[in-house]
Every structure is written in C-alpha cells, then in structure tokens.
Amino acid sequence: MFGFIKNKLKKIYDTFTTKVHALFSKTTVDPETLKELETILIGADVGVKTTRTIITNLKKKYEQGQIAKGSDLKNALEQELHNLLSAQPFEQKSNIFLLVGINGSGKTTFAAKLASKLQSEGKKVLLVAADTFRAAAVEQLTTWAKKLNIAIESGTQGQDPASVVFKACETFKQKQFDALIIDTAGRLQTKTNLMKELEKIKRIISKQLPENTINTLLTVDSMLGQNSLEQARIFNQSTDLSGIILTKMDGTAKGGIVFAIVQELNIPVAYISFGEQTDQFKNFAPQEYVQQLLEE
Ligand SMILES: Nc1nc2c(ncn2[C@@H]2O[C@H](COP(=O)(O)OP(=O)(O)OP(=O)(O)O)[C@@H](O)[C@H]2O)c(=O)[nH]1
Ligand SMILES: [Mg+2]
C-alpha cells in the first residue's frame, strides 16, 4: 500500500520536473508560458498567493524584454525564488532550542539529530522529553539519548510538561550544560490546550534562562503540502516561531511549501532534514535549495 502511494507521488514529482523543463527548453516565451508556469508552481505547493507574486514579477521582466527564451525564464525564476528565500535568513540566537510541530512531523527525530551535531562540536547537551502526553514519546527520545550518550531530562506520563522543562532548566544551570533541546508533544485533546502548554513552556524558559533567546523551531513535514501553511500560522500565533525545519525531504515532495511560509508568514527556514540517521540534515541554504528544486 505504502509503496503504491510512494510510486504515485513519484509520478507527480516527475511530472513537475518534466513540465518545468519543457518550459525552460522553449525557444520563445509567451504569456501562455507564464500561465503554465503558474499552474506548475501551485502544483508544487508554492501556494496561490506566493505564486501570484512570483508570476507578477516575471511578467514585468517579460514585458521589459528580459525574458525572451526558456533559459531566460529559468534564470529569472531562479532569481525570484532565491530572493524570496534569502529575504529571511535564519539566525541562531542561542543554544536553547524548543521544537514544536504537529504529531509525526519529525520533532523527536530532529531533536536527536541536532543534539548529535552540537555534541560533535564539543558542547555539553541536555535533551528534554517534554512530550509527557504519550509514554512512548519519552521512550523514543530516551532511546536516542542512550544511543548518542547524551543526557536527558524526562517526566512521567501525564506530568505537566512545563514542570519537566522547569526541572531541565535547573539542571542546565547547575550542571553547566551548553545546549538545551526540548522535544514537545504534537497532539493534545484540543489545539488550544497544545498552544497554551507551549506558551507556558516558553514562559518558564524565559524566566529560568533569561539571558538566552529561545530558538523556537517548527517541524514541517514536506509531504503535507499546503496544510502546513495553516499549521505554521497557528503555531506562530502562540509561540512566535524563529524558524522552520523542513523534514522528510528524502521523500518525493518538492518542498515548495517553504516559499509560501517564508513569504506569507515571514518565518525563515533554518534546517532541511532528510532521513532517519543523525547526520541527515543541514543548515538551509537558499541557493542550493532553489537549484535542487529546479534541477532535472
Ligand atoms: N524518511 C524520513 N523519515 C523521518 C524524517 N524525520 C522523521 N521521520 C520519521 O517520521 C516518523 C515521525 O517522526 P518523529 O520524529 O517521531 O515525529 P514527532 O514530531 O516527534 O511525532 P510526535 O511525537 O507523534 O508528535 C518517525 O517514524 C521518524 O522516523 C525524515 O527526515 N525522513
Ligand atoms: Mg515526538
């Protein structure tokens, strides 16, 4: 079943690449070409509003005679996408990370990846299992912590996650850790509960570690497409996001959603994550990302 869905998605992916390159190989570009490009971008999750902005800018260039052939279109599109993404660079503010996002989007996996990287840089890392909603969630992070030989603070199932975070902040100060990575729950009975809980966690960290600005990062499953824009909007309202982690980029999604998130919500992309091994992520680089998106 899963294989079937995967193959189907792969077909959509190939269609994107094939279609966009059919436009880039044209000897002359006309207004119809731009219309076709608009449809293709929407199909790649770039979103209606953001696509419109891109197409409007391209139209201007076309009317000024700067886009005559397919290769001009490719260069101009690359430039537009690059401008969009580099307008909002991510700046790491401290070594305090709060990971938020809907269930299954990759928070726990990314917590382990980031912890491993910071540890390899010589930092003393403390992981925090603040997802006390499910016992399995604590176990999952504990397994990672053991495997990586990294310290972990965790509570018991049902315990107030903010109290786990409070204790973790105490440990962080007392034992002089360098980095704090907090994994949170993705699902509670209601969205309001989850948001209230995250707000409370942030308040606790700010109070306990006032000299540090928290990096609040939202994991966005690249396979979910347009739904992610609305999620990002909701999380941003209550947690004031510092950046996005685009996960599951080893899948077939094109990841066009980041353009919509960056443009419509002004949230920068911080990391790209693409597998289940700890080294499978990197800092987001706009140029490389755009090239990958458009490559054949
Ligand atoms: N292929 C792939 N799988 C991933 C990636 N990141 C996470 N996964 C897998 O996706 C599933 C969900 O990841 P988790 O890290 O548990 O997600 P979560 O956000 O912590 O989920 P909850 O704890 O339920 O809220 C797991 O099976 C992970 O192994 C990725 O970049 N690529
Ligand atoms: Mg988790």
The domain total for the chain is 2
261 within 8 A of 220, measured Cβ to Cβ: yes
Q: Is residue 106 part of a domain?
A: yes
Residue 22: pLDDT over 50: yes
The per-residue pLDDT for range 70-122, each reduced to its tens digit, is 999 999 999 999 999 999 899 999 999 999 999 999 999 999 999 999 999 99
Residue % of the chain over a pLDDT of 90: 73
Residue % of the chain over a pLDDT of 70: 94
- Helix/strand/coil for 43: helix
Helices (H), 90-181: 107-120, 135-148, 161-174
Q: What is the pLDDT of residue 6?
A: 47
Q: Poorest-confidence range of 25-39, 162-176, 242-256, 263-277?
A: 242-256
Q: Is residue 218 part of a domain?
A: yes
Ligand 1 centroid, distance to 247 Cα (angstroms): 8
User: Which H or E run contains 10?
Assistant: helix 2-24
Q: Domain of 82: which CATH number?
A: 1.20.120.140
Residue 13: pLDDT over 60: no
Q: Does residue 36 sit in the same domain as residue 175?
A: no
Q: Does residue 171 sit in the same domain as residue 27?
A: no
Domain that holds residue 52: 2-86
Residue 220: pLDDT over 50: yes
> Which ligand places an atom closest to the C-alpha of 102?
1
125 within 8 A of 97, measured Cβ to Cβ: no
Q: Does residue 130 sit in the same domain as residue 230?
A: yes
Ligand 2 centroid, distance to 185 Cα (angstroms): 6
Q: Does residue 190 sit in the same domain as residue 251?
A: yes
Q: Is residue 217 part of a domain?
A: yes
Ligand 1 centroid, distance to 276 Cα (angstroms): 8
User: 6, 100, 109, 220: which to mutate for ligand 1, most atoms within 8 A of CB?
Assistant: 109
Residue 247: pLDDT over 90: yes
Could you tell me how many residues make up the chain?
Answer: 296
Residue 3: pLDDT over 50: no
Q: Does residue 116 sit in the same domain as residue 214?
A: yes
Q: Does residue 271 sit in the same domain as residue 141?
A: yes
> Which ligand places an atom closest to the C-alpha of 187?
1
The per-residue pLDDT for range 249-272, each reduced to its tens digit, is 887 777 788 999 999 999 999 999
